[in-house]
Amino acid sequence: MNNQIRIKVADLIGSPLGISAEDGQKVFGKVEQLVKAGKEVTISFENITMLISLFLNVAIGQLYGSFNEETIRKQLTVEGLSPDDMELLKRVVDNAKKYYSHKDSYDDAWLEEDNNEE
């Protein structure tokens, strides 16, 4: 049985634009399901012409809330990114690791800040 699955982002979201949280959620949902099933997943950004951090935060950054870094490194591969987009992904991953390793304190700080604005 083949444990390697390739997800073409452009085909999954039906667009060359990786810009919406909703489309990022489609990618996240598919990848999360496959990784939970023990599959090795390649996320292909082939034919994606625009990519923003919001999309990557939802599609990939959110995985750090579901899996540890070792699992992600072992089961997930990304391909088809330009050097600039790869740098953007690296920032998203770094921020996600920080956030999910101290999620409660980040959430508490966010709530406190939100309450101070009222």
Q: What is the pLDDT of residues 12-27, one digit of tens each?
A: 999 999 999 999 999 9
Mean pLDDT of 45-55: 97
Task: Show the tokens assigned to 24.
Answer: 């990022």
Find where tokens 């870094």 sit: 69
Nearest CA to 5 out of 55, 89, 75 is that of: 75
Residue 1 confidence class, pLDDT cut points 50, 70, 90: very low
Residue 82 in 3-state DSSP?
coil
Strand blocks (E) in 25-118:
40-44, 50-51, 76-79
Q: Mean pLDDT across the stretch 3-10? A: 94
Q: What is the DSSP letter of 39?
A: -
pLDDT tens, position by position, 29-46: 999 999 999 999 999 999
